[in-house]
Structure 1
Amino acid sequence: MQTVTVTDKKGNNIPVTPLGNNKYSFTMPGTAVTIEAELLPLSDIVTFTDVPANAYYADAVTWTVRNGVTKGTTETTFSPNASCTRAQAVTFLWRAAGSPEPASTRNPFTDVKSDAYYYKAVLWALEKGITVGTTATTFSPNNDCTRAQIVTFLYRFLGE
């Protein structure tokens, strides 16, 4: 994972498209360009035995682990084909947002205990309108998160 910047001879940025697996593309203008890349030391590269370097999700896995959004399911595996629970999904979003403290500790969900790892994430997601629970009094933290739920969480998380 790296940062790549391309500028033309006048210093204007040229859009760069990440292709995954640390490859990038850009449309070459009719003039010379300057390419700058910020490389990571090998010690910062995240690898798991079940995440091939050329997998479409490899860069995303590295980003989420490096940014504290999630970690592997073991020291050497990520389990990319495992499903996520509703608790995990809102926790990923909460951590991606910087793990902000919820404004309130009012918890309407009988199935979200105050000592659960996802407690603050659920309260935050509730107050931000990302989720309303599966009923007025349940969140169903251990249920698998459906594709419909995760895209709805993302849509609301991004403020749409």
Structure 2
Amino acid sequence: MLTSIGLIATAFGMSVASALVPVISVEIFVVGLVVKSPELPWWLLALVVTVGQIGGKLLYYYAARGLIRLPRFMQRKSDPGRHPGRWAAWLERFRFSCQTRPVWAGGVLLLSATASLPPFLATCVIAGWARVPVSTFLITGLVGRFARFAALAVAPGIMIAWL
């Protein structure tokens, strides 16, 4: 049986893995861990999972910003003669909105980090591409993800007390 430190370390590893591989659900892991080991402090579990998630998502943010060089097969081939489509035009308008309305950009990031609407992975990539300041990304991501995982960590205890 794992000790509390081992469980917290496992939670950190799972949170980083789920940040990088979207099919891994850290939410299910958090709920399962709280049910299996109710002695773990909810706030510590939420904090560790939050830090792991944001650490993993920072890789996507920096890759979209161009600070991490992707392998050649993942790089988009540029065609200077190609006319930009509607999607490219929408993304340019979105980038402009993020730069001219930082409070709006922070609100979208906070909503995404908390509720995953829009999906947080997509928001991380777009935030990096739109050159949202890393401080805005980190603050909104940490606050939103902590609220999300804290709610998940206390939910089983609330359900048990309510029933």
**Shared fold (TM-score greater than 0.5)?**
no
Under TM normalisation by the shorter chain, which class is it?
under 0.3
Question: TM-score, normalization: structure 1?
Answer: 0.23
Q: Compare CA radii of gyration and give the structure with the larger one.
A: 1
Question: TM-score, normalization: structure 2?
Answer: 0.22
- Greater strand content: 1
- Greater helix content: 2
* More contact order relative to length (CA 8 Å, sep ≥ 6): 2
